[in-house]
Structure 1
Amino acid sequence: MSGIGNATRYVSASGDAGIDGILGDRAWDDAALLIGAPPTPDVYSGGYGSGEDSGHVQATAEMTAMMQRSLDRQAGSAADDGFSLEGFTGQTVQQSTAASAHIRIAQTDDDPFGYGTAWAYYPSTGAASGDVWFSTVSYDYTYPVAGNYAYVTMVHELGHALGLEHGHLTGSYGTVPTSQDSMEYTVMTYRSYIGASPGNYSNETWGYAQSWMMLDIAALQHMYGANFTTNSGDTVYKWSPGSGATLVNGGIGIDPGANRIFATVWDGGGTDTFDLSAYATALDIDLAPGAASVFDSAQLARLGPGEYARGNIYNALLYQGDTRSLIEHATGGTGDDRMSGNQADNRLRGGDGNDTLMGQAGNDTLMGQRDDDILYGNAGNDTLKGNGGNDTLYGNGDDDLLIGHGGHDSLYGQDGNDVLRGIAGQDTLDGGTGDDRLFGNGGADTLSGGAGQDKLFGAAGFDMLYGEAGNDQLTGGRGADQMTGGDGADVFRFVAVNDSPVGGGIDTILDFTPGSDRIDLSGLAATPLGFQGFGNHSGSAPDVILQHVSGDTRILADLDGDAQSDLRIDLSGVLTLSGADFIF
């Protein structure tokens, strides 16, 4: 008989109101949980339960298969392992024909309670404990398919047989908080959506949950432990825009009855990816524990009149803070996507479209693609790559690498010691606080160091460099650059004659302060330059002379000793300089 000789144990509260709201106080305590679908009623004892056995009808093959796939990771294929009890808990499950199986399912045409639906018995030592019955009186439960009422009823009743209680009622440890009391969080509540009446479900025909949901998984893990071996490799999850199928490493993990996606993902470990590259919609992907992602509003389950699920896929909660179950990477589609990471080292690829990518905690890599993207590194040492389009990149905290690539990009290092590279296009680079390095590369770029001791490199193009606060180093590179050191003792570097040649592309320093700032010419000639002051080149050795022209100061450098000026630097204002203002 079910329950006879099957051990149970006491379960204490978890301390999490959402979990405790569906948590019963008894769980099975045997090493292996035996499950079955008795073909005849003779396995049930006399005086059994409430007499359901007298109307016993064997569960259909479809019912039995769905029960097995919901509990036993060995049933079905490797792709659906993570959606089974054995796949996300530490409980071993075995199929059995024994009369003493812990969980047995059957139909009955004898409805002693007048439910007209289905019911189950909690774990105990009683003869009926763990048994699940489906009434044949009012509903047809014979064909459970992911997303329909028969399926969610199957999972709901199996939850009771495992020790879970109703979320909408006060049970052993309270009720599920109002903010979580819906099918989006648990199949154990009668509320289809938050704020709904706890009466009959109001979901559309194919709008029911397609898996155990996050509170169910968390509560069952509190009872039976967590499984970190299922999908513990580098798992790739994909979804079909046309059918709603959930694909795990290319195999079908959930095959819904209609084009809806409404499930929760538990992953045991590895470096995993949500790959939505097949989608052209505006994706909203959130990898945080307990968060929801929307792939396509047309694939959202309708939970009631005007009420839709907040997401297509929900992330499982962490088990005791263990981050192995996190999804690390995400790949967007061709629409205007929004992607947010978690505390892991995420890699977010936006794909085409005007995307917004947010790294959150961890050392993240964020990559735009074509079009105009916005990237936020947030906490951690992040790498942000705009790639094509006119992109905006924000490093935020810590030491980040920001790369604009093509387009006219705006890069903001913000806090930390950041590296900003504009690459092609007319870029705007702002280091923010910290000791930053800014590289304009091609194009007419604007570089602002911000606070800290920064190094600015304009490279090619007519660039504008602002050191701002701190003792900064400014290198204009080729092109007629304008450089402003700002506060602090700044160094203006010239490393090649083409940085500011006499014939054109002459650089201007707008705020040079003699005695504080310096001009570094040490890399220009084979021998150190001499300082001649106001006058003419000596003609005998490389040197530097000064001129006052139209209210400004001009620096001329003869780099080969032929008495001809090769390099010219203009300083705003009439200034008196000495050799101490140079690095030769």
Structure 2
Amino acid sequence: MTVSYSFMTSLPSYYNADENGAWAVNDGQANNFSSFSMQQSQAAIQALNLWQEVSGLTFVEDKSGNGQIRFGNAFNTIKATGWAQQPGDNRGGDVWLDKGDSRTDNPTQETYGFQTLIHEIGHALGLKHPFKDIDDTNDSPILTGAENSYQYTNMAYDYHPDMPNVEPRNPLLYDIAAIQYLYGANMSTRTGNDTYTWGVKSDGSSEFFGSDENFISAIWDAGGIDTIDASKQTLNSVIDLQPGHFSSIGNGTDNLALAFAVDKAGKSIDYNSLDKPDKIINLIENATSGSGDDQIKGNLANNVLNGGDGNDTLYGKQGDDTLDGGLGVDSAFGGEGNDIYYVDSFNDAVTENSSEGNDTVNSFITYALSDNIENLTLIGNRALNGIGNSLDNLIFGNNSNNNLSGADGNDTLYGGDDNDKLIGGTSADTLDGGNGNDTASYFNSTGGVTVNLSTGITTGGDASGDVLKSIEYLEGSEFGDILISDSQNNYLWGMGGDDTLIAGVGNDIIDGGFGNDSMLGGKDNDTYYLGGQFSTVSTMFHSYLDLIPSTQSSIECVGCNLIFELIRVGE
């Protein structure tokens, strides 16, 4: 809808002169007309543009002076800085500023004079006060408390309850809702990937798009992947990305509102009734806070929430969210969706409820997954350990030496680079060592295991159903195990129990551990460690053996020339 505006150059004829030659404006409340100055005209255009940004209105100047909204100055006898007529008769849409109030001389943004223009233009467009006017004969809605203040609407007279003497910089939460109800929403405002940012001046006050004062504002954003950036703040911030909710940034409390949600046709919609973001406009997706102890709340979208320094609390809400508390002791609650967490402190807390998606922790430290978290990735270059939980976990190591433990569940462990130890735990697990010399360990098994690296057969105890890939070393249990190597240079360690260890092709190391073990050598040069009192070593091939025997251990060579070196323990 197009609305024209003009700057009066003379008194319109529909205003009546009195017997003294003065003229009456708004029933005799003003006189001595004058045109807007250049500064006032520029401020009025800026205020109109702010209303245009949030509504379906387009304002066009009518230089003939016959615009639907007309601006002028006059002396006011009722102590009002400005006044305006609502749409209706000839005077409807006229906006006046008081010549007797110097605050209207240069009404720059975030001053009382500029807020007066926003307020009076609101009247010219059909908005009323949130309180009952003396001459209001209709049963208009009445707002009380904070809702009847600059926290919610420019149409109020009272300051924000926690921010006296701070003027709003643009139409506020209820202003946007009301104007969009009347004229629809502007679906072209900031449809790119926008960042709303604040700095901090030397006096500690906030900077918002060039302002050096505390601010009260509301955001209407019609599209894109957008960010609230309070990373330069040193005070505690609260950032709430839910439409119709308030954030607290800088010295302010509930001083930034996000406009209520509308659908793609620009019509108001109940945000709380939605479960997906694709039906909604005016979602801010991402938020970054500063060095204070901050709180960030997400929304339906796939949010990226960064806490920065400080002890922060992050709430992902719905959507597939990424939550990074940054430095400090942080708490993160992903909510519904497949969420990703970043952890850098042993005191960081990650909380997920049951059936809230498939979630991942990326950890810079040794980390054990808390309940209801499915996946873990170790990041960085340090040697770290990763521990799963009772779920079917997916655990990735980094490029250093890692110990990965799946615990219960059907887990998949990827060692990555370097030399890793993989402990699948109970149930059928997949152990993939990746690069390096990697170990599949069953030392926690409640029964003996059979693991054949050559055929892939895994049975017994915790090994039942396991799939092993890129595994060079095997570590048995405290029970009687059967461990069989493949064509690589393997290390077989029986640990406790009476084990059977069978070497294959390659230079293998066979360590029986405790118990009376049977060790069968293969081709190439194998090394045996005999721990049990009655351990035996047999070989079917020409082989070079290094032996560390115990008392009464026996060595047998069947059909071969055996060369061995006896290495006494302790030498």
Question: TM-score scaled to structure 1, two decimals?
Answer: 0.68
Q: By how many angstroms is 1:383 displaced?
A: 2.7
Instruction: Encode CA deviations 1:98-121: one digit per residue, 9 max, x unaligned.
Output: 44322223232142xx34443221
- Equivalent residue of 2:73, what SS? strand
Q: Give the share of equivalent positions with the same residue, in percent.
A: 25
Q: 1:244 to 1:535 in 2, by over 3 A?
A: closer
Q: By how many angstroms is 1:480 displaced?
A: 9.8
Q: By how many angstroms is 1:231 displaced?
A: 1.3
Q: 1:563 to 1:426 in 2, by over 3 A?
A: closer
1:407 paired to 2:365: yes
Gaps in structure 2 of 5+ consecutive residues: 18-24, 263-267, 270-278, 447-460, 533-571
Which amino acid letter does the alignment assign opposite residue 344 of structure 1? A
- Residue 141 of structure 2, aligned match among 150, 163, 174: 174
**Paired residue for 2:2?**
32
Q: By how many angstroms is 1:275 displaced?
A: 2.8
1:310 paired to 2:273: no
CA distance in 1, matches of 2:294, 2:488: 53
CA distance in 1, matches of 2:404, 2:224: 42
- Equivalent residue of 2:200, what SS? coil
Alignment of 1:553-564 (within 5 A): 560-561=522-523
**Paired residue for 1:259?**
213
- Residue 358 of structure 1, aligned match among 315, 329, 341: 315
**Paired residue for 2:127?**
164
CA distance in 2, matches of 1:557, 1:395: 50
CA distance in 1, matches of 2:221, 2:531: 61
Which amino acid letter does the alignment assign opposite residue 83 of structure 2? W
Query: Mean alpha-carbon deviation: is it higher for 322-331 or for 89-98?
Result: 322-331
Alignment of 1:68-83 (within 5 A): 68-72=45-49
Which amino acid letter does the alignment assign opposite residue 305 of structure 2? L
1:102 paired to 2:45: no
CA distance in 2, matches of 1:445, 1:536: 25
Q: By how many angstroms is 1:86 displaced?
A: 1.3
Whether contact under 8 Å (1:209, 1:263) holds in the other structure is yes
Q: 1:275 to 1:483 in 2, by over 3 A?
A: farther
1:288 paired to 2:232: no
Which amino acid letter does the alignment assign opposite residue 294 of structure 1? S
Instruction: Encode CA deviations 1:384-435: one digit per residue, 9 max, x unaligned.
Output: 333688754446521223211x3344543616x54544664545544454x3
Gaps in structure 1 of 5+ consecutive residues: 1-30, 73-83, 195-201, 248-254, 301-308, 501-506, 571-584
Whether contact under 8 Å (2:32, 2:75) holds in the other structure is yes
Whether contact under 8 Å (1:105, 1:132) holds in the other structure is yes
Q: By how many angstroms is 1:463 displaced?
A: 6.8
- Equivalent residue of 1:325, what SS? coil
- Equivalent residue of 2:341, what SS? strand
CA distance in 1, matches of 2:499, 2:38: 102
CA distance in 1, matches of 2:33, 2:5: 17
**Paired residue for 1:238?**
197
**Paired residue for 1:155?**
118
**Paired residue for 2:188?**
229
- Equivalent residue of 1:240, what SS? strand
CA distance in 2, matches of 1:172, 1:519: 88
Q: 1:431 to 1:105 in 2, by over 3 A?
A: farther
Q: By how many angstroms is 1:272 displaced?
A: 1.6
**Paired residue for 1:436?**
393
Q: 1:556 to 1:193 in 2, by over 3 A?
A: farther
Which amino acid letter does the alignment assign opposite residue 264 of structure 1? A
- Equivalent residue of 2:301, what SS? coil
**Paired residue for 2:32?**
55
**Paired residue for 1:250?**
none
* Larger RCO, structures 1/2 (Cα 8 Å, 6+ apart): 1
Which amino acid letter does the alignment assign opposite residue 118 of structure 1? G
Instruction: Encode CA deviations 1:239-283: one digit per residue, 9 max, x unaligned.
Output: 231164433xxxxxxx54x52122111112111222333334443
- Residue 499 of structure 1, aligned match among 462, 468, 473: 473
CA distance in 2, matches of 1:496, 1:567: 24
- Residue 346 of structure 1, aligned match among 284, 295, 303: 303
CA distance in 2, matches of 1:274, 1:464: 42
- Equivalent residue of 2:281, what SS? helix
CA distance in 2, matches of 1:544, 1:108: 100
- Equivalent residue of 1:384, what SS? strand
Q: By how many angstroms is 1:157 displaced?
A: 1.7
Q: 1:412 to 1:173 in 2, by over 3 A?
A: farther
Q: By how many angstroms is 1:213 displaced?
A: 0.6
- Equivalent residue of 1:190, what SS? coil
**Paired residue for 2:170?**
211
**Paired residue for 2:555?**
none
Q: 1:498 to 1:35 in 2, by over 3 A?
A: same
Question: TM-score scaled to structure 2, two decimals?
Answer: 0.69
Q: 1:561 to 1:226 in 2, by over 3 A?
A: same
**Paired residue for 2:549?**
none
Which amino acid letter does the alignment assign opposite residue 187 of structure 2? F
Alignment of 1:64-143 (within 5 A): 64-72=41-49, 84-111=50-77, 114-124=78-88, 126-137=89-100, 140-143=103-106
Q: 1:536 to 1:408 in 2, by over 3 A?
A: closer
**Paired residue for 2:544?**
none
CA distance in 1, matches of 2:501, 2:76: 113
Q: 1:412 to 1:555 in 2, by over 3 A?
A: farther
Q: By how many angstroms is 1:210 displaced?
A: 1.5
Q: By how many angstroms is 1:122 displaced?
A: 1.2
**Paired residue for 1:270?**
224
Whether contact under 8 Å (2:5, 2:66) holds in the other structure is no
CA distance in 2, matches of 1:526, 1:438: 26
